[in-house]
Each structure stands twice: as structure tokens, then as C-alpha cells.
Chain A
Amino acid sequence: MSKIIHYSALCKTVHGQLLLDIDSLEIHEQACVALSGRNGAGKSTLMRIIAGLEVPDSVTVIFDGQAMPWRRACQRMRTHVIYLHQNPYLFDRSVTDNIAYGLRHQKLSIKDISRKVAEALDWAGISHLQMRNARELSGGERQRVAFARARILSPRVLLLDEPMTNMDSEAREQTYRMIKRLKDDGVSILLATHEFHTVAHLCDTHLSLESGSLRPRSIDSAGGERKIIPCG
């Protein structure tokens, strides 16, 4: 698997305290990485930095083997990386308009946009909701709209910030299936969670964020944690 992005010497201070001090973080093609850590460990902040939504104090970024300054890396990340909030925000408009949102900022014909949106609606199993206002949907349905809206843009990296929080078992299963299908489509996934065991079966790698540092952990075939592998 080739490397998409490599961050090194990533530091971020929040309210005068060092929140992130990461030596190295690599995101590979078609990999599904679980990022665990207790609440407040900095998982969301790290993901937002990776998505280019938050500026780190210092970082070195290598994108597709090319070292680049933060500002340029940010532009690349916004093209190839999509971040989904813990509770994805859906715009106050129809499901179709929400899913088409990203495509409307690309130079595509209305016909192409309609075709892609129809495919995305079908992929997420929400064709019957297409004319509904996205704000009126249930939690599980909103999650499916958010996934379809991200997938339609064919991102190389998808950052999922605790996507299963506050979900019932049925919605959770649906989300698992969508993550699996995205992975099968070749999208690299970084999945933040504070309950690693719930997503272990989806992930190839497990990183734990502790005291600002990333520690690799191994995962056994049953999906449970086995041991901590020392850094370096």
C-alpha cells in the first residue's frame, strides 16, 4: 500500500497546554485505521488538522511523496480528504441538494450531477428520502446522507469522528456496512473512537492517542486488543 500523506513533528497547543506531540503519522492507500483515545485526548483535533480545518503549531507534511508547506498541503487535503463530524451537519435543504453540494463546486454538467446523485442515493439506500428536507431525518438516515455526500466526491481519505456515537444497534450495523463498502471501494479510512472493540473488525491498524502521542497497538483476528507495541 503506497503512502498518501505523512505527517511528522506535528504539534498542537490548546489553551497553553500541549495537546498533540506526534512524531510520525502515515496514511496509506486503502487502509482502515482506528484512532482510539479517551475523551479529550485530542482525536477530533488531530482529525481536523489532517482535514486542513485546524492549523497545527508545527508540522511537516509529505503528500504523495512530495514535501510541501502547510498552506499548500491544506489545499491538497481539502481536495482529497473529507472529514465527517461526530454528528454530521446537514444543510437546511433537501437530501438531494445536500448530496450534490460538493459536486456543485466542481465543473460538472447538471446531467452528470443528477446521475451521480442518483447513484449515491441508491448506494446509501435513501432514494426514497431524496426530496425530504435533510433536517427532518432520523439520526441513522442523516448518517447515511452524510456518507453518501462524502462518497460522491471520491475522496482518497475519509476521516470519521466517532461515527457510531449515540446510535441504536440497527443504525450502528448500517454504519458498519457503509464503512466496509467504502473500504472495499478503496477509500482510506481513519476512524476515531473511544470504544475500539466496537470497530476492531473493520480496521487494519490501531493507533492509540495517549498524552498527545500516537502509540501503535496490534489487533488480533477476533478484533480485540492484544498488546502495546512500543514506539519507534
Chain B
Amino acid sequence: MDSLSASTAESFRLLFSGDAALWVIIFTSFSVSVRAILIAAPLAFVVAFLMAHLRYRGRRTMIAGFSALQSIPAVVVGLTVYLVFSRSGPLGDLQLLFTHSSMIIGQILLSFPLLVALSHAAFQAADRRVWETSVTLGAKPYHAFMTLLHEIRFGLIAALLAGFGRIIAEVGCSMMVGGNILGYTRNIPTAIALETTKGEFAQAIALGMVLLALALLLNGLLAFFQGRGEMSS
């Protein structure tokens, strides 16, 4: 019990004294996940829009497929990316394994189905008159699409937050493709896993508090934006 209290006290000291090692880990986590979500989101929104607005053979299968892919385990995505980028893999020559790039690719693959599924729901719930009004007022398809994004922005922000929440806390994929290299690819979840196995609880608790605060913040924002989305529809 004393040990736990001491670890907790030490974790607060690490957090608020600006411990460099700790903040590099936090920065790596945010840097990788923000870049992943910024790359995945635009493409996911376009795919979701096309799924909601076009009628084509296989559309329902595609929707069901993205829904199913939301539950794919992070370690399976990690394993796939690892095999593709490992030396003997098809893209081994790119030497991306154990870099930020491979972590970003893994997180894009993890967040993409969730972003598509949630933004598809937002596009489907959007009023058809948004698109028609834009077009009849002379907007080109690109501008009508941007107007539609603006009109359903709360739903899309909720999708972004959910996607970000999924990848910032995942450990399996980052561990496998990032390699947990100190000062480079070590992020919050992989650091917590490692420090816990070493019995160094102070840093694990400090990082856990960061993740917990982030989870609460994201959920609060999610509830707020989902509420706004309902009101605006």
C-alpha cells in the first residue's frame, strides 16, 4: 500500500515537474495518432459519402464490411502491418518497420473502418435537401460536398473523436510495428505496458492518468457533439 502511495506521488511529480522522458512519450502518442486521424478522416468521409449517396451493386455488403471491421483486434492489424513491412514482406524494402510511419499506417487501418461507419451514419441521417439546395443554387459537386460536411459537422466531429479514442489507447498494433523504442516509437499505451512489467509503477500511473483524462475529455466532447448533431438535423 505504501509502495502504491509512493508510486502515485512520484507519478504526480513526474507529470508536473516536466519530466522529459515522460513528455516525449506523450508527445509521440499524440503526434502519431493525430497524423493518423488527419490522413484517414478525409478519405473515410469521401468513402462514407459515396456509400450514403450512390446506389451500386455491393453497397450493403460494403456497409456491413466496414461495420464488421470496426471490431478487428489491434494485434491482428499490427501483425498484418508487421508482415507487410518486415524484411521478407512485400514492402520490406521500404524499411518502415519500427518507425513512426509504420505506427501511423497501423493506426490509419485501425481507425478507418470506425471513421467510415460513423460518418456514414451521419451522411445517411443528413437531410437530402442540403445537397439539392446547394446544387440548385449553382454549387459544383465539390462545393455541395463541403456544404454537406459543414451541415453535419457535429456528427463528423463525433466520428473523429471516436476514431482518435480508438487509436490513442491501442497497444497491440503500436507495440508490434513500433517496437516500443525509447525516445522514438514508445507511446503512452506501450510505455504503460512496459513499465508495469518492470514494476516501475510511477511512470505507468502518470501515463495512465494522461490517458484517463484524455478518455474523459473525449467522451465529454463526444456527448456534446452528438447532442449538437441531433439538434441540427
User: Which A residues have a C-beta under 8 Å from some C-beta of B?
Assistant: 48, 51-53, 78-79, 81-83, 85, 87-89, 91-93, 101-102, 105-106, 135, 149-150, 153
Chain A hits for B133, CB < 8 A: 85, 88-89, 91
Task: Name A153's contact: one of B127, B129, B137, B147 (CB within 8 Å).
Answer: B137
How far, in whole Å, are A2 and B136 apart by their CA atoms in the complex?
Answer: 23
A-B contact pairs, 30 of them (CB 8 A): A51-B136, A53-B132, A53-B136, A78-B138, A79-B138, A81-B136, A83-B132, A85-B129, A85-B133, A87-B129, A88-B129, A88-B133, A89-B127, A91-B130, A91-B133, A91-B151, A92-B151, A92-B232, A93-B150, A101-B134, A101-B139, A102-B138, A102-B139, A105-B137, A105-B139, A105-B143, A106-B138, A135-B232, A149-B137, A150-B137
Name B151's closest neighbour in chain A (CB-CB). A92
Chain B hits for A89, CB < 8 A: 127, 129-130, 132-133
How far, in whole Å, are A82 and B134 apart by their CA atoms in the complex?
Answer: 10
How far, in whole Å, are A183 and B150 apart by their CA atoms in the complex?
Answer: 34
B135 within 8 A of A: yes
Interface size on B, residues (CB 8 A): 17
B123 → chain A closest CB, angstroms? 16
Name B137's closest neighbour in chain A (CB-CB). A102
Pair A78/B150 contact, Cβ less than 8 Å: no
Task: Name B138's contact: one of A53, A87, A91, A105 (CB within 8 Å).
Answer: A105
Enumerate the 9 nearest inter-chain pairs by beta-carbon distance, A residue then B residue, closest first.
A89-B129, A102-B137, A89-B133, A83-B136, A102-B138, A105-B138, A53-B132, A105-B139, A85-B129
Chain B hits for A93, CB < 8 A: 150
User: Which B residues have a C-beta under 8 Å from some C-beta of A?
Assistant: 127, 129-130, 132-140, 143, 147, 150-151, 232
The verdict on A78 contacting B232 (CB below 8 Å), with A85-B129, A91-B151 known, is no
A82 → chain B closest CB, angstroms? 5
User: How many pairs of A and B residues are in contact by the CB < 8 Å rule?
Assistant: 53
How far, in whole Å, are A83 and B133 apart by their CA atoms in the complex?
Answer: 8
How far, in whole Å, are A52 and B129 apart by their CA atoms in the complex?
Answer: 14
Pair A92/B150 contact, Cβ less than 8 Å: yes
Name B154's closest neighbour in chain A (CB-CB). A92
Chain B hits for A78, CB < 8 A: 135-136, 138
Chain A hits for B143, CB < 8 A: 105
Chain B hits for A52, CB < 8 A: 135
How far, in whole Å, are A53 and B137 apart by their CA atoms in the complex?
Answer: 11
Name B136's closest neighbour in chain A (CB-CB). A83
Chain B hits for A85, CB < 8 A: 129, 132-133
How far, in whole Å, are A53 and B151 apart by their CA atoms in the complex?
Answer: 19
How far, in whole Å, are A50 and B143 apart by their CA atoms in the complex?
Answer: 22
How far, in whole Å, are A135 and B133 apart by their CA atoms in the complex?
Answer: 15
How far, in whole Å, are A78 and B135 apart by their CA atoms in the complex?
Answer: 7
How far, in whole Å, are A83 and B131 apart by their CA atoms in the complex?
Answer: 12
Pair A82/B150 contact, Cβ less than 8 Å: no
How far, in whole Å, are A135 and B151 apart by their CA atoms in the complex?
Answer: 12
Name B133's closest neighbour in chain A (CB-CB). A89
B23 → chain A closest CB, angstroms? 39
Name A85's closest neighbour in chain B (CB-CB). B129
How far, in whole Å, are A18 and B114 apart by their CA atoms in the complex?
Answer: 40
| Residue from B129, B143, B150, B232 with most neighbouring chain A CB atoms (10 Å) | B129
Chain A hits for B127, CB < 8 A: 89
Chain B hits for A79, CB < 8 A: 138
How far, in whole Å, are A88 and B135 apart by their CA atoms in the complex?
Answer: 14
A96 → chain B closest CB, angstroms? 15
Task: Name B147's contact: one of A53, A81, A91, A149 (CB within 8 Å).
Answer: A91
How far, in whole Å, are A85 and B232 apart by their CA atoms in the complex?
Answer: 18
How far, in whole Å, are A88 and B137 apart by their CA atoms in the complex?
Answer: 12
Pair B129/A82 contact, Cβ less than 8 Å: no
How far, in whole Å, are A110 and B150 apart by their CA atoms in the complex?
Answer: 21
B21 → chain A closest CB, angstroms? 46
How far, in whole Å, are A123 and B149 apart by their CA atoms in the complex?
Answer: 31
How far, in whole Å, are A52 and B134 apart by their CA atoms in the complex?
Answer: 12
Chain B hits for A82, CB < 8 A: 136-137
Pair B140/A105 contact, Cβ less than 8 Å: yes
Name A86's closest neighbour in chain B (CB-CB). B129
How far, in whole Å, are A196 and B134 apart by their CA atoms in the complex?
Answer: 29
B59 → chain A closest CB, angstroms? 18
A146 → chain B closest CB, angstroms? 9
Q: A51-B136, A83-B136, A93-B150 are in contact. List 4 more A-B contacts (CB 8 A).
A: A53-B136, A78-B136, A91-B151, A102-B139
